[in-house]
Chain A
Amino acid sequence: MDTSKAYHTWRKLKSLAMSGASFGCALLAIAPLGFVLFYLIKAGAGSLDWRFFTHLPTPVGEVGGGMANAIVGTLVLLGLASLIGVPVGVLGGIYLAEYGAERVNWWIRFGADILNGVPSIVWGIVAYTLVVIPMKGFSAYAGGVALGFMMIPLITRTTEEVLLLVPNGYREAALALGIPRWKMIIRIVAKTALKGIITGVLLAQARIAGETAPLLFTAFGNRFWTHNLKDPIAALPLQIFTYAISPYDDWHRQAWAGALVLILMILFVNIGVRALTRGKLSGVGR
């Protein structure tokens, strides 16, 4: 009797210990975000000033300057990427939700999920082969293509997801009125789900805005304004990378400031979208 009681206590203790351990895991899992944000704010906020947003980088050795061209460059690249990623992704998502047979859909979804796992640097190589070699030089176009390809599977999946939330009654009602199917899809289904589609696009943009690897040998970076999209263009993540591995203190300072701006942009979109959709689209941020 005594031993069984001792065993019972032991089991309870063990259970308590494991519960404590899993709580510890959860604490450790949320700690890194805190650490990273803390240092970003600590090191970045002091370096953020008006010049950072309005000036070009200064030549090596000169203190000051900003990342205006990199911020604009990132926006330009996002725009170019969206030109590829949004139409292809949204129409692909429409096919999955509205037309596809179960089998075909399974394969396409599977393919999209696999593509999501392809390392971003590989997309850089693809864009290099498709754009940089034929155009004989690094360009904003090449960077846009690399990022655009990355957007396609992301947007395809979210679009499908939100279209499936539209009640079937809407479709049936529209078809019963004699509206052709394509018009029904665009005017009724897509319009109803428009907010969700835009949300998906924004999240995909937030995801690729921080990508550096695919831009290294496509957009390449530029210390000046880019007036022609056939020329190399600066991007915020690229600039952060270049500055972070440089030996200059002033550049390190600016790398932190750039990182703070970048993370604020990304978290702003992520948190905003989450607040608006209340977790309907959770997990698309990455």
Chain B
Amino acid sequence: MTSAAVSELSVEGKVRLAPPSRVFDRAFKWLTLGMALSVAVLMILVGIGLYHGSRLALDKFGLHFLATSTWDPVREEFGALPFIFGTVASSLIALIIAVPLGVGTAVYLTELAPPRLRQPIVTVVEMLAAVPSVIFGLWGIFVMIPWLRAHLFPWLQKCLGFLPLFQGPIYGVSMLAAGIVIAIMILPIITSVSREILRSVPDLQREAAYGLGATHWEVTRIAVLSYAKRGLFGAVILGLGRALGETMAVTMVIGNRPEIAASLFAPGYSLASVIANEFAEATTDLYLSALFEIGLVLFAVTIVTNILAQLLIVTMAGPKTSRAVQ
């Protein structure tokens, strides 16, 4: 009787002592690993999907696709040059505007601003980042473009009209308008990443420079900015990556004309906008395939710029900064 009870107890004890659910443990670990790896899977999926979709165009046009400027869906002649030009030009304009503003704001926030002002400014800049592209586009069409057409563009033409950049008829929708809208949209990311970078500059740097009798600006220039150069460059490249892929707002203000013009007032077209406008209406296989190839170009370029930017930022300021980058 008692021995039976003891043996039962020991059996129960054994059951309890055995690792309860190794199988579940392992299954759960593999499940989460699988989900984490989905990030890599997605990347490969995008690459393969785009390559597969653009094979027809790749076979037909090869690398000429990138250097041809005809875009004629009716005769099925496709070249991406005007779109590449538009994307690059509008992104460069955006960088020219947004980089000094973003870095300047970051300098103000980390070096000069009274603590009470810091958080509100940071919050406003982050809220700007939350505004959807299509809303900037709407604002661009109905508020910014009429203003540019009536005020800024004629003024620029009057002052700088001797340059080919500022000649020609003013439509409003233009490469410059696209550049300005993109600048507004990439300003938050440049600002917040630059701020993280500047914050990672050791205070010892600043103290040493102040100790030598440097003024505020000299400290910023010699001790902070030159120390943070590489990381700031990363912030700029990251902004470039975003600028290259910006779609809706650009589509709404760039004018959507596949031409390469010297004037900033002339309408243009970008890689992302041509996909946005024509993808759903591509009637033939080759047409669709050419749009896939444009997608492939866009994907490849943004991947390369993003990898470069992340490497610059991570090596400069440690892995934590990249979290502010989303």
Contact = CB atoms under 8 A, between A and B. Distances in A.
Contacts of A32: 128, 184, 187
Given A22-B112, A26-B109, A95 B39 contact: no
B53 A19 contact: no
Interface in B250-281: 252, 272, 275-276, 279-280
Interface stretch (B116-124, B162-170, B201-209): B116-124
Interface of A: 11-12, 14-15, 17-19, 21-26, 28-30, 32-33, 35-36, 39-40, 43, 87-89, 91-96, 98-100, 106-126, 128-130, 138, 149, 152-154, 156-157, 161, 178, 180-183, 185, 206-207, 209-213, 216-217, 220, 237, 240-241, 244-245, 252, 255-256, 259, 262-263, 266-267, 270-271, 274, 279, 282-286
B143 A266 contact: no
Contacts of A119: 244-247, 272, 298-299, 302
Interface residues of B, number: 105
Contact of B322 (A109, A118, A154): A109
Contacts of A263: 131-132, 135
A194 B281 CA distance: 44
A92 B123 contact: no
A183 B20 CA distance: 11
Contacts of B305: 117
B217 A262 contact: no
Contacts of A36: 131, 135-136, 139
A129 B53 contact: yes
9 contacts: A22-B112, A25-B108, A26-B104, A91-B34, A92-B36, A111-B39, A183-B21, A241-B248, A256-B138
Interface string B222-264: 0000000000000000100110111110001000000000000
Contacts of A213: 133, 247-248, 272, 276
B151 interface: no
Contacts of B20: 178, 180
A19 B245 contact: no
Interface stretch (B7-15, B44-52, B65-73, B77-85): B44-52
B295 interface: yes
* A-B pairs with lowest CB-CB distance, top 10: A210-B132, A119-B245, A25-B104, A182-B28, A95-B32, A15-B215, A117-B306, A91-B35, A286-B129, A15-B217
Nearest to A240: B134
A128 B32 CA distance: 27
Contacts of A24: 104
Given A114-B306, A125-B279, A152-B38, A22 B46 contact: no
B60 interface: no
A88 B49 contact: no
Contact of A121 (B37, B125, B215, B275): B275
Contacts of B161: none
Contact of A25 (B53, B105, B242, B298): B105
B252 A244 contact: yes
Interface string B281-322: 000000000001001001100110111011000100001001
Secondary structure dominating the interface of A:
helix
A11 B132 CA distance: 43
B112 A19 contact: yes
Contacts of B57: none
B32 A282 contact: no
Nearest to A182: B28
Contact of B39 (A21, A112, A121, A129): A112
A39 B139 contact: yes
A98 B31 CA distance: 13
A157 B323 CA distance: 8
A103 B109 CA distance: 34
A138 to B, nearest CB: 8
B42 interface: yes
Contacts of A245: 141, 252
Residue of A22, A25, A241 with highest tally of chain B CB at under 10 A: A22
A188 to B, nearest CB: 14
B241 A14 contact: no
A130 B46 CA distance: 10
A285 B127 contact: yes
Contacts of B27: 182
Interface string B84-121: 00000000000000001111110111011100000101
